[in-house]
């Protein structure tokens, strides 16, 4: 059973602060979206990595930054009751949105198992400009993806790629040709949304 932490007038607007130089070169406050006794969900800004990845190994990620501050006994993190912070999934640093962190080893194992078993639904919003999807308001892209040989990007490969599927739905289109789309997937791989959008033109 998941126990939601009580919300009151003081905790409705809750943030986690990061000092200058830890994640970025200026002070950063990240909004807490929701929290239970097992996990915390925060509003990750674009340009910040959730966890270590070969493509962002030279920068500090949120996993590392949260645990450094917890180890330093920062009061706002001690109040969460966490014994550690562990990211449940990873998305491109360029993407902003919900980042979910377990607060204990048990919840980390359970939540990562849910994510790996495709029990979570991830939804993204993206803006496109293209004529190739004219008259089409719904698309499914299922091209398997593989890491490019020399560039830091994912590319389609039916021979050696890993399974990936994205469901695209157009929400709105402007007279100038720009469209707002919703993209959904059960397991987001790095660059999946952009790679699948490119595959579909």
Residue owning tokens 């709105």: 172
What is the C-alpha to C-alpha distance for residues 197 and 201, in angstroms, rounded to an integer? 6
The span from the CA of 39 to the CA of 136, in Å, is 39
Q: Is pTM beyond 0.85 here?
A: yes
Entry field: residues in the chain: 201
pLDDT (tens digit, 0 to 9) for every residue of the chain, 201 residues total? 445 555 544 545 799 999 999 999 999 999 999 999 999 999 999 999 999 988 877 788 999 999 999 999 999 999 999 999 999 999 999 999 999 999 999 999 999 999 999 999 999 999 998 766 677 899 999 999 999 999 988 999 999 999 999 999 999 999 888 999 999 999 999 999 999 999 998
What are 91-101's pLDDT values in tens digits? 999 999 999 99
Quickly tell me which residue has 């001690």 as its tokens. 78
90-125 burial: b if 16+ Cβ within 10 Å, else e: bbbbebebebbbbbbeebbeebeeebeeeebebebe
CA atoms within 13 A on the CB side of 99: 27
Residues contacting 140, CB < 8 A, separation 6+:
165, 166, 167, 168
Average pLDDT, the chain: 91
């Amino acid at each position: 059973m998941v126990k939601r932490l009580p919300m009151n007038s003081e905790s409705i607007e809750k943030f986690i602060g990061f000092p200058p130089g830890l994640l970025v070169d200026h002070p950063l406050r990240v909004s807490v979206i929701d929290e239970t006794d097992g996990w915390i969900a925060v509003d990750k800004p674009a340009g910040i990595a959730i966890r270590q990845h070969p493509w962002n190994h030279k920068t500090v990620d949120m996993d590392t930054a949260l645990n450094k501050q917890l180890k330093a006994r920062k009061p706002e993190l001690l109040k969460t009751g966490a014994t550690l912070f562990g990211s449940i999934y990873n998305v491109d640093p360029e993407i902003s949105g919900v980042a979910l962190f377990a607060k204990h080893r048990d919840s980390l194992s359970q939540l990562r198992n849910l994510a790996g078993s495709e029990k979570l639904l991830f939804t993204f919003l993206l803006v496109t400009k293209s004529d190739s999807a004219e008259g089409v308001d719904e698309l499914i892209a299922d091209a398997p993806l593989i890491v490019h040989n020399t560039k830091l990007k994912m590319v389609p490969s039916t021979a050696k790629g890993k399974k990936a599927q994205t469901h695209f739905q157009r929400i709105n289109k402007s007279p100038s040709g720009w469209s707002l789309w919703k993209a959904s997937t059960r397991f987001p791989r790095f660059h999946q949304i952009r790679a699948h959008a490119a595959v579909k033109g």
